Structure 1
Amino acid sequence: MQTMTLERILTAMPASDGGGVKLYRIVGPDGMRGLDPFLLLDEFGSDAADDYIAGFPPHPHRGFETVTYMLEGRMLHEDHLGHQGLLSSGGVQWMTAGRGVIHSEMPQQESGRMHGLQLWINLPAKNKLVAPAYRHLPAEAIPVATLANGIQVKVIAGGFAEGDTHLVGAARGIATDPLYLDVRLPVQTELAVPIPAGHRALVYLIAGRLQIAGQELVPRQMAVLGAGDGIGLKAGKTEVHALVLAARPLGEPIAHHGPFVMNTQEEIAQAIKDYEQGRLVA
């Protein structure tokens, strides 16, 4: 395995969204160039209910996929079609917005810690107007490997193999062939993660201090990886909790406006018009 080089490190910045939920945002409109097909990553986490209680009231999406991963807490998803899904600790919702969804994501708790992440992944042009679809994955449906050295790998999408361990992720049939791993490394352990040829690869650090390609990441930083076919992860004096993300680039133009991601500005204008005239989800 040829270890991937490090192109750059991105740092999440404080932001708010929805009804005023406090979060940290990375990638985003200014940083997504060159990260095809990834568009945005938000991390929200707080013990203070005032930081999250307003949730994310009804809002639209078109043209991409959202992946919501709850580490702690409970959040209810509802949409204009009557779909409901309760996300609880360790669970994932993989939503394909396609031609249009108006949905809400609201906390189902009034106290305690809420901690989660939402990733946006682009859709190819041929799939941007498909019917909305959902994959609701409770914690118990997501494969987990615990290796001999205590490293834990949770396989949300893609595959993971180490020795006699071979796991296939819970989310399958995704257009960009993504890899989505939740990795926990004990102190002074190392892990090599193979990456499919041609995939764009990222590592986001949730907790601890992580050595990658000769550089150290601190929490809320993302490593953007370059040439190579695998990622080397190393924990030092602290335990590490990180996400390993990879997906097949689309190589298509990106037009982005708020909750809409299309290929041209004309398609964005149409999405806005459809939403304003009640046709986004027709």
Structure 2
Amino acid sequence: MSIRPTLETRKAQPTLEGAGVHLHRAFGFHDPSELDPFLLFDDFRNDIPEHFLRGFPWHPHRGIETITYVLAGEVDHGDSLGNTGTLGAGDVQWMTAGSGILHQEMPRGNRQGQMHGFQLWANLPGSLKMTAPRYQDVQATEIPEIIDDDGTKVRVVVGDFWGKRGPVDGIAADPQYLDISVPPGVRKTFKVDTYRRAFAYVFAGAGVFSDASKPSGVLLEKEVMGQEVNIRDMSGDRTLVRFGTGDEVTVQAGEEGVRFLLISGAPLQEPVAWHGPIVMNTQAEIQQAIRDLRNGTFIRAAH
């Protein structure tokens, strides 16, 4: 067994998207090879309705899949396939844009005016970029939750974990998408297939993700529940942790515990041509998509 080293930790950055939605972007629109097959990850969390109610009006996508996970509030959505619906707390939507789809996502807060959710973009391989669009809404009650003896909780959104399988299926990137809560002071190890790229996104509490290159006992400044940890390596709210290769990830939860997403997927290792919500393999394909948008042929059958 080998612990994945921590290659980088960085804070998600404030960003405006859609019609003026205030969100935090952990990664996206930079180096697409960094977390291949994943392209972008946004944390749309806000308790000021004016900062999210204008939402994400009608816009196109081609060549990618999106996974939207709602924690608080609701998101009304509609698309060019005629699908409409509402995602509530704990619900997930997976959308394959494929050859082209137009859709809108309009957030609504809960009774306290709070909205919180995540959106992840996964790339499609060249062989599937022009596949037929499709989508799937998954209710919170369909997502298995596992509670371990030490109080660790894992919601299995996508993939297989601890004998359970997430209900979202058919994503080309074959990701594993876990929502993990580790109680205060607990040290926990999670297996991740060696061939996958992996990252964690901390959104509550704090923890230290073990790095094989940093021996324990270095620069100790604090104890957590009787166990010494290096608080200089503590990852807190809105922190992205990018891992190197290995087959497991280990975290030491802080005084308030830690909650994070652990996401991994098999890299495509294909060329990426990127223009906003359209991701193809070549600039010629991007230009074709723009022409299709202009002449009204963007929405079409797979070929």
Q: Which interval holds the TM-score relative to the shorter structure? A: over 0.9
**Counterpart for residue 67 of structure 1:** 67
Query: How far does residue 19 in structure 1 lie from its aligned partner after superposition?
Result: 1.0
State the Cα deviation string for residues 81-105 of structure 1 (Å, max 9, x = none).
2111210000000111100110000
Contact 1:69 1:93 in 2 (8 A): yes
1:34 and 1:55 map into 2 onto residues whose CA distance is 28
1:231 maps to a residue whose letter is V
Q: What is the TM-score normalised by the length of structure 2? A: 0.89
The offset of 1:190, in angstroms, is 2.2
Determine if contact 1:10/1:27 at 8 Å carries over to the other structure.
no
User: What code does the residue aligned with 2:150 have?
Assistant: N
In the TM superposition, structure 1's runs of 4+ consecutive aligned residues that sit over 3 Å from their partners are 108-111
Distance in structure 2 (CA, Å) of the matches to 1:86 and 1:104: 12
The aligned counterpart of 1:266 is 284
Q: Compute the RMSD of aligned alpha carbons.
A: 1.3
- Structure 2 residue runs of 5 or longer lacking an equivalent are 212-232
Alpha-carbon separation, structure 1, partners of 2:110 and 2:89: 15
**In structure 1, what is the equivalent of residue 85 of structure 2?**
85
TM-superposed CA distance for 1:110, in Å, is: 8.0
Superposition pairs of residues 1-282 of structure 1, within 5 angstroms = 1-109=1-109, 112-161=113-162, 166-214=163-211, 215-282=233-300
Question: In structure 1, what is the Cα distance between the partners aligned to 2:22 and 2:103?
Answer: 19
Q: Give the Cα separation in 1 of the matches to 2:110 and 2:52.
A: 9
1:119-178 deviation digits (Å, cap 9, x = unpaired): 0010111110111111211100101001111111000011111xxxx1111112221211
Give the Cα separation in 2 of the matches to 1:139 and 1:74. Answer: 12
TM-score (norm 1): 0.95
* SS of aligned partner of 1:253: coil
Question: SS where residue 272 of structure 1 aligns?
Answer: helix
Secondary structure, counterpart of 2:293 in structure 1: helix
Contact 2:182/2:253 (<8 A) preserved: yes
Equivalent AA in structure 2 for residue 23 of structure 1: L
Is the contact between residue 146 and residue 153 of structure 2 (CA under 8 Å) also seen in structure 1?
Answer: yes
* Aligned mates of 1:61, 1:271 — CA distance in 2: 10
Consecutive unaligned residues of structure 1, counting only runs of 5 or more, are none
Superposed displacement of residue 31, structure 1:
4.3
> What is the CA deviation profile of residues 6-59 of structure 1, one whole-angstrom value per residue up to 9, with x for unaligned ones?
111232110011110100012111143321101000001111110111011000
- 2: CA distance, partners of 1:159 / 1:185: 19
SS of the residue corresponding to residue 148 of structure 1 reads: coil
The corresponding residue for 2:219 is none
Percent identity for Structure 1 against Structure 2: 42
